[in-house]
Amino acid sequence: MVALDTAGKGSPGRTIALCLVWAVIIMAADQWTKELILRNYQLGEATHITGFFNIVRAHNTGAAFSFLSNAGGWQRWLFTGIGVVASVFIIWQLYKHPTQKLFCFALASIMGGAVGNVVDRLMHGYVVDFLDFHAMGWHFPAFNVADSAITMGAICLILDELMRARRER
């Protein structure tokens, strides 16, 4: 989307529509990959891909890095609510700042990932994770396409803010 409309041309409505389409693409890709994992792997089953990467089926009832994963079940609704509230806030921000292309791209990426994980929580009671990076006995917590989009969106938000601050100097 940033590349589609970087010159500032096009209507704000077009930017918002592109952002919402981007969020839907992320959510759909996330759900499709998770469905492949659920169909083809048992919980804990893994496929060694490289010396530093596996595909593994993991369930996360918590948030990032399994935060609150053993909280007894109430966290499912807390994190679902946070995802819904964040999505509403993001849509409001998209309408408020449609000319800020990188900002909107970042927010749409975060929203697509958040909705993907909310769908998991509602359907399964947990988030399906499957990307497992490791090195020298250390494993990064397994994650998924939604988590990748959220991370990419956060990085783009930081970049957007750094660029904005630099322009103001």
Q: Report pLDDT digits (tens) over 62-118.
A: 666 555 555 566 666 787 888 899 999 999 999 999 999 999 999 999 999 999 999
Is 59 within the bounds of a domain? yes
Is 120 within the bounds of a domain? yes
What is the model's pLDDT at position 148?
97
CA 16-19-96 angle, 5° bins: 40
Write down the mean pLDDT value for the chain.
88
| Residue found by looking up tokens 């994992």 in the block | 37
Is 71 within the bounds of a domain? yes
Is 159 within the bounds of a domain? yes
Looking at the chain, the whole-number percentage of residues with pLDDT higher than 70 is: 85
Is 49 within the bounds of a domain? no
Q: Tokens representing 18?
A: 């592109």
What is the model's pLDDT at position 72?
61
Give all strands (DSSP E) within the chain, no chain letters.
46-48, 53-60, 127-135, 138-139
**Into how many domains does the chain fold?**
1
Q: Do residues 54 and 46 touch, judged by C-beta distance below 8 A?
A: yes
The pLDDT of 21-50, averaged and rounded, is 97
What is the model's pLDDT at position 63?
63
Is 2 within the bounds of a domain? no
Q: Tokens representing 91?
A: 């849509």
Query: At a CB cut-off of 8 Å and minimum separation 6, what does 5 contact?
Result: 14, 15, 18, 101
Nearest of 154, 72, 61 to residue 105 by alpha carbon? 154
> Containing domain of residue 78, as a range?
12-39+55-168
Question: Which residues are marked as active site?
Answer: 129, 147
Q: Tokens representing 126?
A: 């947990």
Is 146 within the bounds of a domain? yes
Is 17 within the bounds of a domain? yes
Q: Tokens representing 32?
A: 């499709």
